[in-house]
A and B are shown apart, each in its own frame.
Chain A
């Protein structure tokens, strides 16, 4: 009797172990605390929501996704350790990080181990390093900013622009890309102000912008710093048009800056206000689930998780190398892959092409002013 019970228990345990090992592990390595939490935590929530939907619909190739979170603490070296930990724990695909400063460091670990990595980072350097395992969920600044140049020159009529940017990998990428855009559009950069990650006091920076003689300000910082900058700009009555790329007009920045965000114009790759029913539906579900609005990071995380599903199913097995190979040159259309939300293509560097939008913040909401074609 005892022997039978022991055998039954052992069989049950081995069956359970078999079931557990059948799950596919996806690692979300994100800025869940520290200066980047406003981006990373939202990205992670987007992934979680998508994973729950995917699991409810049967998972990937019949396997449930085991989503494991790793907090980079917005520290590049810690993010590297977390990526190594995720790989040691047999993650099939890595999701993250969002901050470029972390991604440029941790993607080397993923590359050495041949693990595909879906990132939310936007620094041009991410896809310029020849890493065959890195793939974006939003295009790099070098692709997004040229769309902004003609807006500054033609729509705003500004020929002198001041630039305020985060002195990080992300910020440097945007700054350098904007320098090229300004040069090609005949725009003079009259003031060039670097700021620090987690900077809290922007009084001196705004005072310098005011006296710079600029006709518009290009701001390229992360969420909380952008919000603090906008609050200070409103406080000092800066009185210049503020334009940026993606972050400055994101819902998170609008929530933090309040009325100070009104009037900001931005090019955005993804927005909950996009005139696309799938995105609006996703954003509504997100808000109902988490109690706050989905921004571009939430959408990036969401469609990133669905990208893993569609690509794996296209490959037909959980083969990391085949996954990476498949993604190069891949196009997914939203009609047959609804979780991708918008048609998207990846080139042989992992760079993304997709439609994008020009927006303006009006009464605390993004308003789409123009839809721009993929480039």
Chain B
């Protein structure tokens, strides 16, 4: 039982970070019909911002993290939208998808070339203490990762539901033409979505990298997992991405623990196939339209 609780909590912790990346997928899709296949690399890159700022420039870790989030919002949000999405979206979704794949490769190879192909140690943000929960040893980092990731997503939900800007963003996602007639600055709302995605990617990055180590190839795993989570949960719902992320995290860990480590990556793929066959809109998704 203790082992099961241990694996479950570890799965929820990892899953909550996957959910952050998955929410980014859904946000961009909702706001601008952008499927960002560079999302994994978006999560990989901010950790290297932190490393560059701490190791190369000698900044303290908290300041480096704040600056890395700012840089991510700027580069992975605003610059990404301006230089990649706006020019490509005019040609349709498919060219944009291909452009994001190319961007992912560029980011990955860029980090490999200009930083290092080797894994890099990344400082843990939390003490490595362990708590006992029903006989299971639960680590403080696992709890902290879960709380921060869930808090971020809940905060985002509240922002979208309870603030005027958030409701304008939802209106833009649901029907941009009507939103524009009602006086919503839809360009600004779409920009906000990209900025939020940059921030989500940066938060996911600083939470996951102490466990994964900082490495140029981290995006391959994270991007795939987040994409599957978004599809499984429902590509057009934030709460779907949240559920999808948690589900993938838990299933991945349970299958590694009780099925086989060799086939752990296959189990989420089987889940994906099953969901697509049985409920193509995802577990919490809706088939009729878009909503953030």
Contact = CB atoms under 8 A, between A and B. Distances in A.
Interface of A: 32-35, 37-38, 41, 167, 193-196, 198-201, 203-205, 207-208, 210-211, 223-224, 227-228, 231-232, 234-237, 255-260
Given A33-B112, A201-B252, A236-B137, A224 B11 contact: no
15 contacts: A38-B118, A167-B261, A196-B262, A199-B261, A200-B221, A201-B252, A204-B253, A204-B257, A205-B257, A205-B261, A207-B7, A208-B257, A228-B213, A236-B137, A258-B121
B8 to A, nearest CB: 9
B53 to A, nearest CB: 19
A204 B253 CA distance: 6
B274 interface: no
A33 B10 contact: no
A203 B7 contact: yes
A203 B3 contact: no
Nearest to B216: A33
A326 B136 CA distance: 59
Contacts, number: 109
Given A204-B10, A237-B137, A255-B121, A231 B210 contact: yes
Nearest to A164: B261
Contacts of A256: 119-121, 213
Interface size class of B (residues with CB under 8 A): 35 or more
Nearest to A255: B121
Nearest to A260: B128
A199 B220 CA distance: 12
A232 B137 CA distance: 12
B16 to A, nearest CB: 13
B211 interface: yes
A193 B261 contact: yes
A94 B3 CA distance: 48
Contacts of A228: 211-213
Given A201-B14, A201-B253, A258-B121, A224 B3 contact: no
A210 B3 contact: yes
Nearest to A193: B261
B202 to A, nearest CB: 19
Contact of B117 (A37, A204, A207): A37
B236 interface: no
A207 B212 contact: no
Contacts of B228: none
Interface string B130-141: 100000010101
| 5 nearest A-B pairs in the assembled complex, by CB-CB distance | A203-B10, A204-B256, A237-B130, A204-B257, A207-B6
Given A235-B130, A236-B6, 12 more contacts: A34-B117, A34-B217, A198-B217, A204-B7, A204-B10, A207-B10, A208-B3, A210-B3, A256-B120, A256-B121, A259-B128, A260-B128
Contact of A257 (B112, B118, B121): B121
Q: Is the interface of B mostly helix, strand, loop or mixed?
A: helix
B218 A200 contact: yes
Nearest to A258: B121
Interface string B189-231: 0000000000000000000001111010110010000000000
A256 B116 CA distance: 14
A200 B3 CA distance: 20
A360 to B, nearest CB: 20
Given A200-B211, A210-B3, A236-B130, A194 B137 contact: no
A203 B11 contact: yes
A31 to B, nearest CB: 9
B147 interface: no
B2, B14, B256 — most chain A CB neighbours (10 Å): B256
A228 B13 CA distance: 16
Interface in B215-274: 215, 217-218, 221, 252-254, 256-257, 261-262, 264-265
Contact of B213 (A224, A234, A237): A224
A212 to B, nearest CB: 9
Contacts of B185: none
A298 to B, nearest CB: 13
A200 B252 CA distance: 12
A210 B137 contact: yes
Nearest to B13: A203
